[in-house]
Amino acid sequence: MKHPSDHSPKFGQDQSAPRFGLARILSKAGLCSRTVAVEWIRAGRVEVDGRRILDPEARFPLSGPGIRIDGLDITASTRQVLLLHKPRGVLTTRQDERGRATVYDLLPGSPWLAPVGRLDQASSGLLLFSNDPHWAQRLLDPDQHVAKTYHVQIRPPLSTDTVVQLAADSVLDGEPCLPMQIRELRCGGKTQWLEFILQEGRNRQIRRLLAACDREVLRLIRVAVGNLPLGELRAGEWRWLHSGEEELLRQTPTPGDIPCLPSE
């Protein structure tokens, strides 16, 4: 007797179209490896046209069926965006030849998504992932001037005059930086917390500017992209972005909009 969730040809699909195993469909879509797809299906996490499928070899057309993983529609027309609180010491890469931890070690149960930009190994904070490369490219386009907010702990502190000059008149690689907003969050003893709001994303921009001022960066945390804050996610945690939140990514915050993290 068939399980009511087993596959059957009652999905309203073109029965003459070539059909493939469900695990293969998921892997060909770039969502995960076939081994992981088999695990997801057997765990009851995958639905096709509203019916849970438990057989990884259940056959369907390569395009057409509405597939959901954990209730999330993974059809190509549906953009998915994931927000991760990247910890320090983790690489923004798929795999590392030296066996170091990567961001994908923190996402074992999610469909495969590509990072939108990156954070260097020593930095932490908000990192987005998406299955829509065109959307990601628009978000990363320098001409779009999508703001990114960072909270940075340095040693020793900078003077107020230096902060003002750094914000208005900085140069990297012989090219002037776009004006940025920098303000002091607090200063205690030998260290100081600063907030940087950047309109561009040059490689290691904040670290290089502060190194030119003979300052050591102790912590560097991306706390927002646009007006979308990292929020209360702890390091290593992630969540799905809701469609309404995407509008926040293109809004420019004003100093003080983004709260400090409890760990700062």
Q: Which residues are catalytic?
A: 120
Output Rg (C-alpha) for the chain, integer angstroms. Answer: 22
HSE-CB for 197 with a 13 A CA cutoff: 22
Residue 203 DSSP SS3? coil
SS3 content of the chain, % helix, strand, coil (to 5): 20, 30, 50
Residue whose token pair is 């992209």: 225
Q: Backbone phi, then psi, for 72, in 5-degree steps? A: -95, 125
- How many helices (H) does the chain have, and how many strands (E)? 5, 17
